[in-house]
Amino acid sequence: MVFKLLRKHMKTILVTGGSGFIGSHTCLCLLKNKYKIIVVDSNVNSSKLSLKMIKKIFDQNKEVMEEIIFHQGDIRDEKFLKKVFLKSLNNGYQIDGVIHFAGLKSVEESIKYPLMYWDNNVSGTLTLIKVMELFNCETIVFSSSATVYGSSEISPLKESFEIKPLNPYGQTKATIEYILDGIFRSSKSNLKVANLRYFNPIGAHCSGLMGEEPLNKPNNLFPYICLVAAGKYKKLNIYGNDWPTFDGTGVRDYIHVMDLAEAHFSTLKFLLSNKAQLINLNIGTGIGTSVLDLINKFSVVNDIIIPFEIVDRRPGDVASLVANNQKAISILDWKPQRDLNNMCADGWNWQKRNPNGY
Ligand code: NAD
Ligand code: UDP
């Protein structure tokens, strides 16, 4: 009864790419905070089962299950997107805001197939913004990336630093930021925009029911470590130990995926209760961890040895990417709560319980 009363005041959020790794954890967080959510995903890089797991985590609570609606489809399909907005309106729920995760995310793939990345990421976003405008939806939280900074010599990185992406993936993210900025600056706009520049999300929900499921051989370090731990690969290749870092291996700012999910909730809350504006926020912990650090931490926390070999540097890699997260901490009612121990334990728990993914 109380829940029904609350529902009347709940905001409705469209989550594009909500079946994916970060999207599914964010959906969980939004539901916990009593938002109604509509997920749109083509499942080009995810399983529909991730959303089923959310329902399991909420113990099949019927009222919560009513608050999550899934539409399978591609955001480049304008007709489909219009239908999603219209259906929600006809059901009495105007979409108040969008969290836009849908996109392709492999740097390597983007170098091989740049057109596919421009089309999916940029055309998809343009279609989404057009439909949002048609339905007077003026709030968007966009999944940007630390890759937009390229290879900065200075760490930690501030939001005001130059945007200079080094690969097509990063260029699509920077272009979307640029487009949003242009629309925001137009005189007619009441747009509320947050470009969240994520650093390196790893780990999984502590239940072990949800996590990252790379459909192909993973490119990223953490899922690869998990697969070596699981015995699927014999060893990890470390891409260079001659980087200008404290131990010669690449340094990154790893953030627990649930901390990242919570940052989205806080960002939405902030945008929805403030005037039209555009903000760029780094979402990281501000702590730099090297490849060797991460391997050691994973081994100690989970009591598993990770065999590795030093190989050549990976093309397109940079030495160090660490966030200055002070702006996000001061603006949002948010700060990272989980440390590297939690990231390693939760990530391995998910891998161990789900050796074949969802
Ligand atoms: P993910 O691949 O798990 O999730 C993206 C989701 O979008 C997938 O479910 C995919 O099926 C869907 N999708 C892709 N193109 C679509 C389209 N045209 N229409 C509808 N759905 C589509 O990736 P993730 O790690 O959850 O990343 C989410 C977002 O955050 C991406 O935009 C990614 O670029 C960005 N990001 C990720 C990282 C990271 O390290 N994981 C870092 C920085 C930024
Ligand atoms: N890395 C590595 N072996 C791997 C994957 C990654 O040594 O199999 C290194 C990579 O060179 C970088 C760090 O781990 O220094 C993080 O790489 P990841 O791809 O996870 O993140 P990104 O480079 O996109 O920030």
Residue (of 343, 344, 329, 321) closest to 145 by Cα position: 321
- Active-site positions read 169
Whose Cα sits closest to atom 24 in ligand 2? 220
Cα separation, 243 vs 236, whole angstroms = 18
Residue 289: predicted pLDDT: 98
Residue 24 CA to ligand 2 center (angstroms) comes to: 23
pLDDT digit string (tens) for 191-246? 999 999 999 999 999 999 999 987 777 889 999 999 999 999 999 999 999 999 99
| CB-ligand 2 contact for 239 (6 Å cutoff) | yes
Cα separation, 92 vs 206, whole angstroms = 35
Q: How far is CA 280 from the centre of its chain?
A: 15
Ligand nearest to the CA of 218: 2
Q: How far is CA 339 from the centre of its chain?
A: 18
Residue 329 CA to ligand 1 center (angstroms) comes to: 24
Residue 8: predicted pLDDT: 53
Instruction: With a cut of 50, list the residues of the chain below it in pLDDT.
Output: 1-7
Residue 217: predicted pLDDT: 79
* Buried-exposed string 288-311: b where 16+ CB fall within 10 A, e elsewhere: bbbbbbbbebbeebbebebebeee
Which pair of tokens denotes residue 286?
């501000």
Ligand nearest to the CA of 122: 1
Residue 155: predicted pLDDT: 82
Residue (of 94, 86, 128) closest to 10 by Cα position: 94
* β-strand partners of 100: 16, 142
Cα separation, 167 vs 53, whole angstroms = 34
Cα separation, 306 vs 314, whole angstroms = 20
Residue 124 CA to ligand 2 center (angstroms) comes to: 27
| CB-ligand 2 contact for 105 (6 Å cutoff) | no
